[in-house]
């Protein structure tokens, strides 16, 4: 039984989304020490946006008439979807960039949606499987803030992972992650610490929940 973990932060070891996802992963491992973890890092192993165009064009061509480039694109799509289908639970670490979805994550999702097992299925093949979504934002986007409504990523993730893929989605959100490094946000640092602590706490509970769900299904 395996947990699929997706990372997409460009900050490496300084990434808040990775750190919070680490908390969820540790909780998973404590609860399910024999569980396998499959990782995909979209920054260290990025997917070119051009591949999506090629994969889409390949869908209009019989398999035996595809170019080598089209065949490689379709093979990549198959492997990405297989990776998801082979897992029982999901940990998705996705920061907000420029008020929207990271280009790395968007390229990955776009490819997934070219596979008929995902987009064309009457019942989503991942329906009901548990997923922990960790999303982080450098500023504040909550009600009453100047940037309220500017987070165009989290609603999209809820639609794709929850509504379209049918995952049982548990969301941990952390805001104000830039407060420590941005002098203009100095007065928000205490609030930022509270947000971070709450995010770690939430992620830990979700990691444990994922493991408990998988173990209960195996009994």
CATH number, domain with residue 68: 3.40.50.360
User: Percentage of residues in the chain with pLDDT exceeding 90?
Assistant: 95
- Please give the model's pTM, rounded to 2 decimal places: 0.95
Q: How many domains does the chain have?
A: 1
Residue 37 exposed, middle or buried by CB count within 10 Å (0-12, 13-18, 19+): middle
Render pLDDT for 129-158 as a digit per residue (tens, 0 to 9): 999 999 999 999 999 999 999 999 999 999
**pLDDT confidence of residue 219:** 74
d(CA 129, CA 210): 9
Render pLDDT for 156-187 as a digit per residue (tens, 0 to 9): 999 999 999 999 999 999 999 999 999 999 99
Q: Which domain holds residue 211?
A: 2-218
């Amino acid at each position: 039984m395996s947990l699929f973990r997706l990372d997409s932060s460009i900050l490496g070891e300084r990434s808040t989304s990775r750190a919070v996802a680490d908390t969820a992963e540790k909780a998973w491992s404590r609860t399910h020490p024999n569980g396998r973890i499959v990782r995909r890092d979209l920054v260290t192993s990025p997917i070119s946006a051009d591949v999506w165009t090629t994969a889409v064009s390949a869908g209009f061509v019989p398999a035996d008439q595809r170019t080598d480039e089209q065949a490689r694109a379709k093979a990549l799509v198959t492997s990405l979807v297989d990776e998801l289908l082979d897992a029982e639970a999901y940990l998705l670490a996705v920061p907000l960039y420029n008020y929207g979805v990271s280009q790395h994550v968007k390229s990955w999702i776009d490819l997934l949606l070219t596979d008929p097992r995902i987009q064309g299925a009457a019942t989503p093949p991942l329906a009901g499987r548990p997923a922990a979504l960790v999303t982080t934002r450098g500023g504040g986007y909550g009600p009453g803030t100047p940037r309220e409504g500017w987070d165009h990523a989290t609603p999209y993730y809820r639609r794709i992972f929850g509504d379209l893929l049918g995952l049982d989605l548990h969301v941990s959100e952390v805001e104000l992650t830039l407060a420590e490094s941005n002098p203009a946000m100095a007065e928000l640092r205490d609030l930022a610490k509270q947000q971070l602590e709450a995010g770690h706490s939430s992620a830990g509970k979700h990691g444990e929940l994922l493991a408990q769900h998988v173990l209960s299904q195996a009994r």
